[in-house]
Structure 1
């Protein structure tokens, strides 16, 4: 199964020390996709984020993205994630509350960080 990784999903390892790829594999996901707009957000955050911690987490996310399939997409990251998830049936790993709502109401499987130490498939009622 395939999963699209959002910007904040790729920053989880730098922020919380969670091996997101191991966790995604535990959930049955083997193909990791990163959209070009997500890379652009990470590049921007790696230079301009308010905190040093966020800049470092974004840099770690960029390094991790190198091991993923990069998918060309235009527009903003959230819209591109929703569009590709709907077209391909891929799940999305994000912690963005608003994006989780949008995805869930459209029937997209959402994966998120739970208790700062593991990933789980979100239940629609959580939003």
Structure 2
């Protein structure tokens, strides 16, 4: 699903959704960081990852809530493995990626992609060029 010309796509990855829930940070806070219209998208393969995670106890409850939460956002079909798909789509479409995955974050930044991440378990922060967002 393509975004409108006036909106910057923001892709959520699996650990960002779960970590946001775990630390009690609302995904709506993403909008507080961006000065430009945006559209939050959850890649279809992120939804599959959430569905296939094998967790127990509180983590399993978070997983179920994360699935419900992800259903409130538009989905995006990406090619290949999750991280590769996110990297390629964000490079090709000027998307921002919301992730706490250190390895993915480094790869995204090395490719000039702006990243939103959780800082100090309390709030979202931006890493990258924010001139146009």
> Shared fold (TM-score greater than 0.5)?
yes
The TM-score by the shorter chain falls in which range?
0.7 to 0.9
For 2:77 and 2:101, locate their aligned partners in 1 and report how far apart those are by CA, in whole Å: 22
In structure 2, the residue matched to 1:24 is: 30
Q: Which piece of structure 1 moves more, 6-15 or 89-98?
A: 6-15
Instruction: Write the mapping of 1:80-99 to structure 2, written as runs, cut at 5 A.
Output: 80-99=85-104
Gaps of 5+ in 2: 1-7
- Paired position in structure 1 for 2:5: none
Superposition deviation, residue 2 in structure 1: 2.1
Q: Distance in 1 between matches of 2:38 and 2:69?
A: 15
Partner in structure 1 of residue 50 of structure 2? 42
Specify every segment of 5 or more residues in structure 1 that has no aligned partner in the other structure, as ranges: none
- Tell me the CA shift for residue 122 of structure 1: 2.0
TM superposition score normalised by structure 2: 0.83
Q: In structure 1, the residue corresponding to 2:79 is in which secondary structure?
A: coil
SS at match of 2:124: strand
Conserved 8 A contact 1:15-1:53: no
Residue from 11, 15, 21 that aligns with 1:14 = 21
Find the aligned partners of 1:73 and 1:64 in 2 and give their Cα distance. 20
Deviation at 1:58, TM superposition (A): 1.8
Residue 102 in 1 paired to residue 107 in 2? yes
Q: Deviations over 1:51-90 (max 9, x none)?
A: 4222222212111111111011232110110011011101
How many residue pairs match? The answer is: 120
